[in-house]
Amino acid sequence: MKRLLPRLLLAPAMASLFLWMIVPLVMTLYFSVIRYNLMQPEETGFIGLENFTYFLTDPSFAVAVGNTLLLLGSVIAVTVLLGIAIALLIDEPFPGRGAVRLLLISPFFVMPTVNALLWKHMMMNPIYGVLAQVWKFFGATPVDWLTDVPLGSIIIMVAWQWLPFAALIFMTALQSMNREQIEAARMDGATYLQQLRYLYLPHLGRSVAVVVMIEMIFLLGVFAEIFTTTGGGPGDASTNVAFLIFKQALLNFDAGVASAGALFAVLLANLAAALLMRMVGKNLDT
Amino acid sequence: MAYLELKNIEKTFGNVRVIRGVDLQIRQGEFIVFVGPSGCGKSTLLRLIAGLEETTAGTLLLDGRDITELPSSQRDLAMVFQSYALYPHMSVFENMSFALKLAKVDPAIIAQKVQRAAQILNLTSYLERTPKELSGGQRQRVAIGRAIVRAPKVFLFDEPLSNLDAALRGQTRIEIAKLHRDLGATTIYVTHDQVEAMTLADRVVVLRDGKIEQVGTPLELYDRPANQFVAQFIGTPQMNVLAASALQSLVQGCGIAVEPDGYLGLRPEDIALCAPGQGQLGARVDLVEALGAETLIYVTTDNGVAMVARQNERSHLGVGMATGLVLDVDAAHVFDAQGRVTRSGKARASKGH
Amino acid sequence: MAQRSKYPMTLLLRSALAWAVALLLFFPLGWLVLTAFKSELQAIAVPPLLLFRPTLENFSIVQERSDYLLYAQNSLITSAVSTLLGLALAFPAAYAMAFFRVRYTKNILMWMLSTKMMPAVGALVPVYVMAQSSGLLDSRTALVIVFTLSNLPIMVWMLFSYLKEIPHEILEAARMDGATLWQEFRRVLLPLTLGGLASTGLLCLVLSWNEAFWSLNLSAAKAGTLATLIASYSSPEGLFWSKLSAASFMAIAPIVVFGWFCQKQLVQGLTFGAVK
């Protein structure tokens, strides 16, 4: 009985997750090697790696990969750098600190579709948007964000949303820092920059790694923002791999090619996952 | 007729034999102390008795009943944990009445029993508080109260005093002793502190590496240790144990039969100091610890052996001074090469009318 | 504890800078809230209006035009049900791993983590096809299932880390006091884990409510959630900014407020406990 009980308790969760993992995976594998168009479901047939070659040789593919990496890299860079800066800024108490924290973390809890439309219309509209007004105020011509800098606009939206996450993590990490070593450094005559370099940044090293890993995982699948604003365009200028697959699946209805693409995306994600697992695994002491 | 009997208890964790064949018989009302160095298995043995771990082999009998296969909840034993393990979300009253509530005892009777236990332990004014609001000593008393209320067949204590500061420890030790005197309950008490063992126990069980080294009353263990391990474990400062090879002349001169690779044991109080050049050995003083009521003098003999002597009088000796040692040879214990005792020294005489 | 700066001047500068940054970052959100109370003309005013007479008309129009309540109801139901389902699945698993010597606990947790890491798009085609063939497209059931499974790994992890913090000895004490396994669970374990259950549930609620990928792809007019409703505002319909803002404001307000209250727990959950 003692052996049986834990296994019974684990079973429902593990069984569901197992199915959730296996069934789509097997189906995707199957779809990726047959011809399967959702509009003509009767016409199926084994076509080997044709789907893969189609997906990979699609000119949009290379662009999508590039965009994905660009998106990933920029957002991570912005959120980490600004996140650390903000965390350091509000590390010490000052009047209204609590309220400042609330203001800072709010963007993270906003629905992605709201986020997207908020920026698309209220901020980035080239005539009535706030950014346009600000540009005009300084005498410059307003930028037509979504048309001229489509990927950049997406990057801004996503970075705005994830900056609070990074900042909050770094704030938490800083609070766990041993204050006495800072006092010791001060007594040793260290300037703030030196303290930064030798004390603060090394301590934050681990949380930076975590933030990067987590963001890599979630940002690989950025979708809602692209869907609601640029639709991947103009052309494929703001299409990432996730959106490309979506286009194939539900716009071209080519499930075969989409599945091939999905496998590729899964591969990409696995790399990020392996790295994060190593990091999180170290924290686990069962 | 033993009240609690352990027969050939074995416990293995993975490949490690943690308890190796323990046999023990405990009478009703006895206060037994399990003592031994870290890792000797004393806590494991206690947990086996409690039922929190399963025995790999062996039998446990309580009041005639075989409880080896019974779960903890049915053994009618109460345990006081080292960390007290109080229920954080319950008040002191609820903590102490929990077991009775589970047993569906009448609430009026529960209240009565809890009040009585609270009175004995001076907890009456704290009954409505939660553990968060109590000091360490108070929490410990609640843990004890929780056990008392149940009036179990046996009380089990797992190093209850380790988390208290020194002053509180001494005080609580006395309270536990008084409690045992008043309630007369069978108790098994685990500690690594031999002072607690000596002062609280009716009988002491010395454990090492999962085996019982010796069982006896505290003074039996002190005067007649069965082996070198027990001899050195019991008694502070440690008994001086000297290799026979280092004391050739002395040994021969006193006519004690010691194997060439055996050992001689002398308690600090059996070594007296005299003028240099006199006595059986010469030595230099390393350190003098004046404790007020007694003085400990650490010396190194002329042939390089470190020893400690104890005397009731103050000493005028200083570091580096030469002195002579008078050894009370009759009180010496002799051990063979494996550490077993071959001759016990004579016991100290007791004073009193 | 952080030390106060020795120089009041740096403190002042820091406070000013911190407030400036905070207000700047919050600005888009604040602007959204303001716009919700403007008329459409005021919303597109050039230069942008900071002071104006507020109106509540947008909120009622949104409801008339797009049946806001239906979408809100869908969001509520799918989030709540998936949270409860998730807790029901996750809690026993977390309990088993935290309190029994289950072999490969670490491996199991890692594996659960890995299922979360796959981008949702990887499962899009199969799930879509399955939903279509079982007639569950545009149904709340499909959304609930998908939300639950997506959030399950995080919930197991969070509950596991909460349960691990309960000292074994308290449960052993309950056992010695005569409690059966069920009593041990109900009277001692459960009261002590309520906090953990609440945080985990809240996190799942937030994640499901904000979930956009599956909502957009699997649901439409009948089971659409607020996420889909807002997205559908993106097709040009003439002037609609203040209505959009009103709709958005209602959609995000509860979650943002939730976020304020449990920032630490939510972020902890999202990092799988890697940052404490």
Please report whether residue B79 resides in a domain: yes
Please report whether residue A29 resides in a domain: no
Q: What is d(CA B148, CA B144) in angstroms, rounded to the nearest whole number?
A: 6
Task: Single out the residue in B228, B248, B269 at which a domain terminates.
Answer: B228
Chain C contact for B13, CB < 8 A? no
**Stretch B167-179: mean pLDDT:** 88
Please report whether residue B84 resides in a domain: yes
Same domain, B332 and B207: no
Question: What burial letters (b/e) apply to C70-83, b meaning 16+ CB within 10 Å?
Answer: ebbebbbebbbbbb
List pLDDT tens digits, range C207-217. Answer: 888 888 888 88
Question: From the list C22, C110, C227, which residue is nearest A104 (CB)?
Answer: C22
Q: Which residue has the higher pLDDT, A176 or B269?
A: B269
Count of Cβ atoms closer than 10 Å to residue C47 Cβ: 10
Same domain, B205 and B59: yes
Which residue in chain C has the smallest CA separation from A98? Answer: C260
Same domain, B129 and B258: no
What is the set of domains in chain C, with CATH numbers? 66-270 (1.10.3720.10)
**Listed range (A225-229, A253-257, B93-97, C252-256) with the worst mean pLDDT:** A253-257
- Dig out the tokens for B33 from the structure: 């102390």
Is the confidence at residue B203, as pLDDT, over 90?
yes
Task: Single out the residue in B228, B259, B294 at which a domain terminates.
Answer: B228
Count of Cβ atoms closer than 10 Å to residue B135 Cβ: 11
Q: What is d(CA B80, CA B95) in angstroms, rounded to the nearest whole number?
A: 13
**Stretch B297-304: mean pLDDT:** 88
How many CA atoms lie less than 13 Å away from A72 in the CB half-sphere? 22
Q: Domain with B252 in it: what CATH number?
A: 2.40.50.140
> Rounded to the nearest 5 degrees, what angle is found at the Cα of C218, between the Cα atoms of C215 and C223?
70
Please report whether residue A37 resides in a domain: no
Please report whether residue A57 resides in a domain: no
Tokens 């106060």 sit on residue: C4
Alpha helices for chain B (secondary structure H): 42-50, 92-102, 107-120, 136-150, 166-183, 194-200, 218-223, 228-233, 248-254
- B47, B82, B87, B146: best to mutate for the C interface, most C CBs within 10 A: B87
Please report whether residue A104 resides in a domain: yes
List pLDDT tens digits, range A14-44. Answer: 898 888 888 888 888 888 888 777 777 766 7
- Domain count of the fold of chain A: 1
Count of residues for chain A?
286
Q: What is d(CA A73, CA C207) in angstroms, rounded to the nearest whole number?
A: 24
- Domain count of the fold of chain B: 2
Q: Which domain holds residue A168?
A: 69-235
Contact C178 B52 (CB under 8 A): no
Same domain, B13 and B106: yes
**Residue B312 near residue B294, CB atoms below 8 Å:** yes
Which residue in chain C has the smallest CA separation from B90? Answer: C188
Report pLDDT for B254: 62
Contact C18 A90 (CB under 8 A): yes
Tokens 């965009």 sit on residue: A67
Task: Round the average pLDDT of chain B to a whole number and report it.
Answer: 88
**Residue B203 near residue B231, CB atoms below 8 Å:** no
Please report whether residue B233 resides in a domain: no
Count of residues for chain B?
353
C212 phi and psi angles, rounded to 5 deg: -115, -35
Split at pLDDT 50, 70, 90, the class of C131 is confident
Report pLDDT for B167: 86
Cβ-Cβ contacts under 8 Å for C245 (sequence gap 6 or more): A122, C32, C33, C34, C35, C36, C38, C43, C58
Split at pLDDT 50, 70, 90, the class of C272 is low
Which residue in chain A has the smallest CA separation from C14? Answer: A89
Please report whether residue B351 resides in a domain: no
Same domain, B212 and B314: no
List pLDDT tens digits, range A193-216. Answer: 888 888 888 788 878 877 887 788
Q: Which residue has the higher pLDDT, C6 or C231?
A: C231
Please report whether residue B350 resides in a domain: no
Please report whether residue A186 resides in a domain: yes
Same domain, B133 and B171: yes
Could you give the dihedral angle defined by the CA atoms of residues C112, C115, C120 and C124, in that order, rounded to the nearest 10 degrees? Answer: -120
Split at pLDDT 50, 70, 90, the class of C142 is confident
Report pLDDT for B263: 85
Tokens 């003999």 sit on residue: B301
Neighbours of chain B (3+ CB pairs under 8 A): C
Contact C153 A17 (CB under 8 A): yes
Chain B contact for C177, CB < 8 A? yes
Contact C248 A117 (CB under 8 A): yes
List pLDDT tens digits, range C109-128. Answer: 878 877 777 778 878 888 88
List pLDDT tens digits, range B322-340. Answer: 888 888 888 888 888 887 8
Is the confidence at residue C99, as pLDDT, over 80?
yes
Q: Which residue has the higher pLDDT, B163 or B158?
A: B158
In what helix (H) or strand (E) does residue B247 lie, and over which residues does it extend? none
Q: Which domain holds residue B284?
A: 238-343
For strand B341-343 and strand B333-335, is the pairing parallel, antiparallel, or unpaired?
antiparallel
B207 phi and psi angles, rounded to 5 deg: -115, 145
Could you give the dihedral angle defined by the CA atoms of residues A4, A7, A8 and A10, in that order, rounded to the nearest 10 degrees? Answer: 160
Report pLDDT for A105: 87
List pLDDT tens digits, range B9-20. Answer: 999 988 899 999
Please report whether residue A192 resides in a domain: yes
List pLDDT tens digits, range B87-109. Answer: 999 999 999 999 999 988 899 99
What's A119's DSSP letter? Answer: I
User: Closest by alpha carbon to B241, among B332, B316, B150, B340?
Assistant: B332
Same domain, B280 and B221: no
CA distance A115 to chain C (A): 9
Task: Single out the residue in B228, B250, B272 at which a domain terminates.
Answer: B228
Distances (CA, A) of B280 to A53, B254, B287, B288, B325: 99, 10, 21, 21, 6
Q: What is d(CA A245, CA C120) in angstroms, rounded to the nearest whole number?
A: 11
Contact A95 C258 (CB under 8 A): no
Q: Which long-range contacts (CB under 8 A, 24 or more apart) does B221-224 make?
A: B222/B198, B223/B344, B223/B345, B223/B347, B223/B348, B224/B341, B224/B344, B224/B347
Same domain, B101 and B242: no
C108 phi and psi angles, rounded to 5 deg: -65, -45
Which residue in chain A has the smallest CA separation from C12? Answer: A94
Cβ-Cβ contacts under 8 Å for A101 (sequence gap 6 or more): A90, A171, C263
CA distance C119 to chain A (A): 5
Split at pLDDT 50, 70, 90, the class of C5 is low
Return left, alpha or beta for B74; rule: phi > 0 is left, psi -120 to 50 is alpha, else beta: alpha
Same domain, B14 and B74: yes
Chain C contact for B162, CB < 8 A? no
Please report whether residue B145 resides in a domain: yes
Which of A246-255, B168-177, C135-144 is most confident?
Answer: B168-177
Distances (CA, A) of B306 to A205, B253, B277, C186, C212: 52, 21, 18, 60, 78
Chain C contact for B14, CB < 8 A? no
Is the confidence at residue B27, as pLDDT, over 90?
yes
Report pLDDT for C1: 40
List pLDDT tens digits, range C163-177. Answer: 888 888 999 999 999
Tokens 């980035």 sit on residue: A124
Cβ-Cβ contacts under 8 Å for B15 (sequence gap 6 or more): none
Same domain, B205 and B274: no
Chain C contact for B79, CB < 8 A? yes
Q: Domain with A102 in it: what CATH number?
A: 1.10.3720.10
Strand-pairing partners, residue B77, are: B154
Same domain, B69 and B182: yes
Task: Round the average pLDDT of chain A to a whole number and report it.
Answer: 82
